[in-house]
Amino acid sequence: MTANSRALLAALIVIVVAGASALYIGYRTGVLAARSGIAVATTGNVNALFNGGGDTAPQLIDNALHLLEDKYYKPVDPQTPIAGEAGALREYLHAKKIANVNLPAATPSDDANVESQQLANVLAFAQSHYGAQLGPKGDTDLTEIALRGIMNSVKDPYTVYLSPREIQGLQESLNGGNFGGIGVYIYQLKDGRIIVQPIDEMPALKAGMKAGEIVDTVDGKPVKGMALDLVEKLIRGEAGSTVTLATHPYNKPGKERTYKIVREIIHVPTVRAKMEDGYDYIRLSDFGQTSAAEVKKALLDGQSKGAKGYILDLRDNGGGFLDAAVDISSFFVPEGTIVATIDRDGVRSESPANGRVIPGLKPLVILVNKYTASASEITSGALQDYHLATLIGTKTFGKGVVQNIYQTPDQGALKITTARYVTPAGRDIQHKGIVPDIVVPQNEDPGLIDTPADKQLAAAKARLHALNR
């Protein structure tokens, strides 16, 4: 599996229906891949945005520009996408050691159609003059770079172009995908190190791998600083084949370990649950398509075993589908708003509880940390606002904006921030995060979670014990 840099990633995404948009509220670009996001199918057929026939590249450019200018939650200066495309192309060509790059100038225009044509002309010039020097995929690569430049021009980390390969990884993350692998969550730290967390009852854990190990090499290839999707590709493979990982414990680079692991078909659950000390402990890795059903099962199992309280662990959970956040919150919130979104025109849309509350889920503690983001913050914020849970841990990530995902003709997607959201009490958490009711600092090493050294989990149990007196 993958995740982005848990703060790392986070932004899982799924194109739920071809040609449809998807509301995305994650902050990563993988599965815990680093630490990441979610989506909800909404109405809207973007196929209507494309003119039939013609070259795909001009269609992609035209679509990116129009969607960015029409849907982005803030006004976009016409100069911004033009400068973004040209800058990205120049940087890429220079990185490929192509000298004397000379692209035609494009003039900003209030007419989006004129501006679109100028952007397409710049790309066509780059392809005709430099594409052949980049190899057989040169024109395709330049199209992708141009799209990334246009989307990145607004300087919003959540407004991006996603290639078909990236979309496939996000789909697998949110769908719990079936693939040949070893059963780990993969994260990337800010310094480029790759860290893994084995999943219960899967090959990596059976081979003895511990949570929080740093991966040095995969089949002899160094992976520090490598893109997460490429690391994931190295680790995955045909079921029955073997992959070798060299690792070392978190912050202990001298103690290298080597694992030879036979790949199996992996279905990654989003919930890990158990009864411990009389409490129902539920750890949710992301808000995927099956998450609500998995959480419901864990809650009902805990009730049937006489749980004295519930712990919902959302640490390192980068978010996911908005619908999943509403559904999971609704197990605890009988009625009222779960989250409200506000678009660029100030129009407010509320997502109410769905009426599927499970009675008796008290007392409840939610564990959070700096990598609790997006959909996780929606759930945490709603339950805190309604005084239905005690939040314990450290301040959350602070992602208070939502994205729509639009499929493109190349089977990639445009992810665009279209609105901001607020909690039921009207709190805007963008760049602010949610402060827990009880602050308990803890080392960021994910290997500490759910171990005897987990101070935050110990504090959760102490809180439940106090509430049961």
Task: Read off the pTM.
Answer: 0.75
Residues 408, 57 contacting (CB under 8 angstroms): no
53: part of which helix (H) or strand (E)?
none
What positions carry a catalytic annotation?
A: 374, 385, 399
> Is the bond preceding residue 452 a cis peptide, omega within 30 degrees?
no
Q: What's the whole-number mean pLDDT along residues 212-222?
A: 95
Residues 42, 325 contacting (CB under 8 angstroms): no
Compare 25 and 130 and report the one with higher pLDDT.
130
pLDDT in tens, 323-340: 999 999 999 999 999 999
CA–CA separation, 77 and 291 (whole Å): 40
Q: What single letter denotes the amino acid at residue 148?
A: R
Q: How confident is the model at residue 38 (pLDDT cuts 50, 70, 90)?
A: very low
Q: What is the pLDDT of residue 257?
A: 94
Q: How far is CA 28 from CA 283, 345, 414, in A?
A: 19, 27, 15
Q: What is the pLDDT of residue 254?
A: 78
pLDDT in tens, 221-260: 999 999 887 898 899 888 999 999 999 998 788 789 999 9
- Beta-bridge partner residues of 162: 413
Q: Percent of the chain, pLDDT > 90? A: 65
Q: What is the pLDDT of residue 170?
A: 65
Place of tokens 């450290």: 394
Q: What is the pLDDT of residue 173?
A: 57
Residue 438 gets which letter from DSSP?
A: E
The vertex-148 CA angle with 411 and 230, nearest 5°, equals 70
pLDDT in tens, 358-405: 999 999 999 999 999 999 999 999 999 999 999 999 999 999 998 888
Residue 132 gets which letter from DSSP?
A: G
Compare 357 and 164 and report the one with higher pLDDT.
357
pLDDT in tens, 57-80: 999 999 999 999 999 999 999 999
Q: What is the pLDDT of residue 49?
A: 28
Residue ranges of domains in the chain, CATH in brackets: 178-267 (2.30.42.10), 271-400+419-467 (3.90.226.10)
Answer whether residue 26 shows pLDDT above 60.
Answer: no
What's the half-sphere exposure (Cβ side, CA atoms, 13 Å) at 469? 6
